[in-house]
Structure 1
Amino acid sequence: MLRSLILLFVTLLAVPATAQEVYRFGDDAYMAGDNVTLTGEAVDDAFIAGNTVVLSASVNGSAHAGGRSVSISGPVGKSLYAAGLNVNMSGGVGDDAHLIGDTVLVNNDVGGDLRAAAQRIEINGAVGDSALVAAENILLTGAIAGDASFSVDNLSFGDNARIEGTLYLYAEDPNDIDIPDSVVPQDRISRHDIDDFDASADPEGGATLDRSRPGIVAWLVGTITSILILTAIATLISALAPSFLLALRLRTLETPARALWMGFLTISALAGSLFLFALTGFGILLIPVSIVLAVLLGIAGYVIGTYILGVGLLGATNRPLPETLSERAIAALVGAVAITVLAMIPFIGWIATLAIALAGAGALVIRWFAPGFYTEVR
């Protein structure tokens, strides 16, 4: 769940490009921009990122969409992956649906499993298999053919709501939530404390945390998930601001030591300002701002450094600079794998990873503010 929220948070922070970029390779569609709309003939797979995203064309394969407002009105033949502030799925999904947002509306049928994380979610369509949902407020008006695992504070139902399998309910006080027998009989309800909820579990058969699961399996799943999330974030940013990332890469390679030093200096200044603000009394109000800025700069530097590392490794194999969205995605994946493996090296791995993140943050600061030292003022 934490990784999903981080992915959503960084997605919402990404500054969209002003122009819509469209790239088609085979039967797949790749699009990025401010207001992005995919219409017309059906495509195989769709990869879309922007501020406002509308997918009304038919997708025979899988659809991937990210933005502040995401609307899926066309049918998706296989799986749907969507993240945004507001996600509205009004087109049917043939297989599984994976949805993340503040408000998520499922207004059509999902043929397979439903996985969703939100502040508020409405499930108004039918779910063909199981549902694993984590949200503060859940409204179920449709039917779920399999098991349902709900981590929730407030749960309500429509007249036609129905759960054919077992309801695994996770809440602060699960016994305080009333479930009508018309939705699911009491003998098919399993109530658990909210701390036992496992968002990475298989929706079928509940989502209760298995504390006996082998550590190597959990580590492997977590590592692969982290790589994919980092790849997705870096790809999204490279799609929205390709020229900006290219400039950062050139700046970093021109003066790597300066970028490293500037990243270290800026993050240290933001962190060190906490004590100065505290001394001024009223400046205590600015302490949260300083913390948030330091964290955001560190995250941005880590993502930028990962992408630059991936481009550099591909360049070492005589590959040209990435120009298309698919090439940028490959560079992001190579960088994510490389920095993950690098972090595993004992003793020096974390130092190298930190250096890459600081260099990325420094390149960003240099690009935005162009600071200089020993500059003569006339």
Structure 2
Amino acid sequence: MFRPLLISLLTLAALPVSAQEVYRFGDDAYMAGDNVTLSGDAVDDAFIAGNTVVISAPVEGSAHAGGRSVSVSGPVGNNVYAAGMNVNLAASVGGDAQLAGDTVLVAAPVSGDLRVAAQRVEITGSVGDSALVAAENILLTEVIAGDASFATDNISFGANARIDGTLYLYAEDVDAIDVPDHVVSADRIERLAADEFDGSASPEGGATRAPESNGGFLSWLGGKIGAILTLTVVASVVAYFAPGFLMGLRDRTLESPFRAIWMGFLSISALAGALFVLGATGYGILLAPFAILGAVLLGIAGYVIGTYLLGVGAVKLAGQPLPVTFLERAVAALVGAVSVTVLALIPVVGWPMVLAVTLAGAGALMIRWFAPGFYTEV
């Protein structure tokens, strides 16, 4: 999951930057700017963001690139992760390639798996393993050594095109797609409905969406119970090690619940929004992932804290005293976990209510740590 997140960070961080910035740490290269070109000596890993991105230097490890136009013309020893309006892979890749854009051109050999999401894809370089491609239009002129999963309504093949494994075709009218025998024999073609395609699946063995469990309602209920128990355990552990701290958070939340929600909103928004400020410095791109990670961790902490505080409130509302023993705290955590799970199931208003609980927990934490104030005299 980190790779798509990193590509998104690189792409967004490039938007406010107008001048090329270069930073090298060890054998890795970090660059951000308007028109960015990585050239010269080989690097280990490359992390590049900009409006126009060109990687012409050899990359011995993996290349990560994001921008409006991305071109990889230097050989990459390991994997390539690239996203942009136009992506052109014009040099050999020793590992896998994961590409996304409007137009994606794969004009060089990829030794491992190929995964592409685009409007138009041209595969004119060989693929050493399997390929998973989702696009409106696909052109294949070379060899795919493994399986191929294509989700498309328009595909064409060159004279040298060949798929050595099984071809999994996903389309609205899959029977209307003609596949020549020289590409793959009819007995190695599986034709499937478009809605069965799963872009997150492994390229090998097809990308068919896993069927729903036969458990039906029981399976769904089991999943909910598992989530409740997990949340209960986490909240109980936190309450065990920091009971006084949580009670302090409860007091601050009760003093001004809307202030807690507001502070939670501001804190998470500030961490997530720091991405753009850090990206504007060029060098700050190194810290951008930590800002997003901080926002995610604060959200998780807020969810756990808010759940426990909700459970304590529900227990007290039922006429019980505030929890003192570990068992009482565990019961409060269980009540809170059940409460947020039930809230989430309420149509329309349920999810905003769970979000409010999360923001209140995060805000209470920020108020306890930093004691921010508004309209105060200096």
Q: Does TM, normalized by the shorter one, top 0.5? A: yes
Contact 2:135 2:151 in 1 (8 A): yes
Identical aligned residues as a percent? 59
**Structure 1: runs of 5 or more not aligned:** 221-255, 265-300, 312-321, 358-378
Q: Which secondary structure state, in structure 2, belongs to the residue aligned with residue 82 of structure 1?
A: strand
What residue is the counterpart of 2:31 in the other structure?
A: 31
- Are positions 1:118 and 2:118 aligned together? yes
Q: Which secondary structure state, in structure 1, belongs to the residue aligned with residue 32 of structure 2?
A: strand
What residue is the counterpart of 1:229 in the other structure?
A: none
1:310-349 residue pairs with structure 2 within 5 A? 324-340=284-300, 342-343=302-303, 345=307, 347=340
Contact 1:122 1:139 in 2 (8 A): yes
1:7-86 residue pairs with structure 2 within 5 A? 11=11, 15-86=15-86
The 1:40/1:196 distance shift into structure 2, 3 A limit, reads same
Contact 2:98 2:116 in 1 (8 A): yes
Deviation at 1:332, TM superposition (A): 2.4
The 1:38/1:9 distance shift into structure 2, 3 A limit, reads closer
The 1:116/1:356 distance shift into structure 2, 3 A limit, reads farther
Contact 1:124 1:141 in 2 (8 A): yes
Deviation at 1:21, TM superposition (A): 1.5
Q: Which secondary structure state, in structure 2, belongs to the residue aligned with residue 48 of structure 1?
A: strand
Counterpart CA distance in 2 for 1:119 and 1:194 is: 15
Q: Which secondary structure state, in structure 2, belongs to the residue aligned with residue 350 of structure 1?
A: helix
- Are positions 1:164 and 2:164 aligned together? yes
- Are positions 1:351 and 2:356 aligned together? yes
Q: In structure 2, which of residues 260, 267, 272 is the aligned counterpart of residue 306 of structure 1?
A: 272
Deviation at 1:323, TM superposition (A): 6.3
The 1:54/1:117 distance shift into structure 2, 3 A limit, reads same
Contact 2:301 2:361 in 1 (8 A): no
Q: Which secondary structure state, in structure 2, belongs to the residue aligned with residue 333 of structure 1?
A: helix
Contact 1:12 1:84 in 2 (8 A): no
Deviation at 1:74, TM superposition (A): 0.4
**Structure 2: runs of 5 or more not aligned:** 214-218, 228-257, 308-336, 341-352, 363-378
Counterpart CA distance in 2 for 1:26 and 1:13 is: 22
What residue is the counterpart of 2:195 in the other structure?
A: 195
What residue is the counterpart of 1:104 in the other structure?
A: 104
Structure with bigger gyration radius: 2
Deviations 1:44-100 (A, max 9, x none): 000011100000000000000000000000011000000000000001110000000
Contact 2:83 2:101 in 1 (8 A): yes
Counterpart CA distance in 1 for 2:24 and 2:10 is: 26
Q: Which secondary structure state, in structure 2, belongs to the residue aligned with residue 150 of structure 1?
A: strand
1:285-304 residue pairs with structure 2 within 5 A? none
The 1:4/1:326 distance shift into structure 2, 3 A limit, reads closer
The 1:302/1:52 distance shift into structure 2, 3 A limit, reads farther
Deviations 1:260-291 (A, max 9, x none): 59x99xxxxxxxxxxxxxxxxxxxxxxxxxxx
Taking only aligned residues, the RMSD between alpha carbons, in angstroms, comes to 3.9
Q: How many residues align?
A: 272
Q: Scaled by the length of structure 2, what TM-score is found? A: 0.63
Counterpart CA distance in 1 for 2:10 and 2:45 is: 24
Deviation at 1:12, TM superposition (A): 6.9
Contact 1:56 1:73 in 2 (8 A): yes
Q: Which secondary structure state, in structure 1, belongs to the residue aligned with residue 136 of structure 2?
A: strand
Counterpart CA distance in 1 for 2:157 and 2:124 is: 10
What residue is the counterpart of 1:149 in the other structure?
A: 149
Counterpart CA distance in 2 for 1:302 and 1:185 is: 54
Contact 1:12 1:68 in 2 (8 A): no
Contact 1:8 1:100 in 2 (8 A): no
Counterpart CA distance in 2 for 1:75 and 1:356 is: 48
What residue is the counterpart of 1:240 in the other structure?
A: none
Counterpart amino acid of residue 333 in structure 1: L
Q: Which secondary structure state, in structure 2, belongs to the residue aligned with residue 200 of structure 1?
A: coil
Deviation at 1:327, TM superposition (A): 3.0
Structure 1 range deviating more: 18-27 or 163-172: 18-27
Deviation at 1:149, TM superposition (A): 0.2
Q: Scaled by the length of structure 1, what TM-score is found? A: 0.63
Counterpart CA distance in 2 for 1:169 and 1:153 is: 9
Counterpart CA distance in 2 for 1:147 and 1:355 is: 49
Deviation at 1:153, TM superposition (A): 1.0
The 1:355/1:177 distance shift into structure 2, 3 A limit, reads farther
